[in-house]
């Protein structure tokens, strides 16, 4: 009787695990590149980021940026399809209005992806959303690069003692060479 109860308990645990286990899938998003974007008022710059899908099906991804007001962010495409195992580069432009305050803007790049699923009946899909830091510095003026001339290496000074030792070693090697040649001739 106890074996029968243990079997039912095991079956219940097994069925519960089957119902709760989900397929593990992941999404990779890089920080916008260039990472240290510095712009003047009225400037615009291009940037990109990468989306990597490691799932078994293609992903439909949308993206947006929050927290960078009054900066204007525009993307080349509003959404992208990332095939399973692929990496897609997403390009955009950030524009700084003339009247934007000079400061560091800390924003978030939000990427949401959902798998492509074909169903004949009803179903559900897990949508993954990821936020990545996006920092832009609006500066007063471009910092001038400090160009320093590289100093030429000074010639090492030869001390008199090392010069004398070098001459002695040279004389001894010549004498040694001469003596070995003389012995070979005999």
In a domain, 82, yes or no: yes
In a domain, 87, yes or no: yes
In a domain, 3, yes or no: no
The predicted-structure confidence for 14-73, as pLDDT tens digits, reads as follows 555 445 444 445 678 888 888 888 899 999 989 999 998 877 778 899 999 999 999 999
Domain that holds residue 30: 24-138
Is residue 94 exposed (0-12), middle (13-18) or buried (19+ Cβ within 10 Å)? buried
In a domain, 10, yes or no: no
Q: What per-residue confidence (pLDDT) applies to 24? A: 45
Q: In what order do the strands lie in the sheet with 59-66?
A: 37-39, 128-138, 104-115, 59-66, 79-82
Average pLDDT taken over every residue of the chain: 79
In a domain, 67, yes or no: yes
CATH classification of the domain holding 105: 2.60.40.10
The total of structural domains in the chain comes to 1
Better-predicted residue by pLDDT, 129 or 108: 108
In a domain, 167, yes or no: no
* Range from 54-58, 152-156, 173-177 that averages highest in pLDDT: 173-177
In a domain, 183, yes or no: no
In a domain, 53, yes or no: yes
pLDDT confidence bin for 92, thresholds 50/70/90: very high
The predicted-structure confidence for 3-29, as pLDDT tens digits, reads as follows 555 566 666 665 554 454 444 456 788
70 within 8 A of 97, measured Cβ to Cβ: yes
């Amino acid at each position: 009787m106890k074996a029968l109860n243990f079997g039912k308990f095991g079956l219940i645990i097994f069925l519960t695990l089957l119902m709760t286990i989900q397929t593990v899938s992941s999404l990779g998003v890089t920080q916008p590149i260039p990472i240290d974007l510095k712009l003047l008022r009225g400037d615009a710059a291009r940037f990109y980021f990468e989306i990597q899908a490691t799932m078994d099906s293609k992903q439909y991804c949308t993206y947006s940026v929050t927290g960078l007001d009054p900066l204007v962010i525009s993307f080349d495409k509003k959404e992208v399809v990332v095939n399973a195992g692929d990496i897609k580069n997403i390009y955009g432009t950030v524009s700084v209005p003339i009247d934007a305050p000079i400061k560091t803007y800390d924003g978030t790049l939000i990427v949401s992806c959902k798998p492509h699923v074909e169903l004949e009946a009803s179903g559900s899909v897990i949508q993954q959303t990821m936020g990545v830091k996006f920092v832009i510095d609006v500066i007063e003026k471009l910092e001038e690069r400090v160009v320093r001339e590289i100093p030429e290496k000074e010639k090492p000074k030869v001390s008199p003692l090392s010069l004398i030792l070098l001459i002695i070693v040279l004389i001894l090697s010549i004498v040694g060479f001469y003596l070995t040649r003389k012995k070979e001739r005999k």
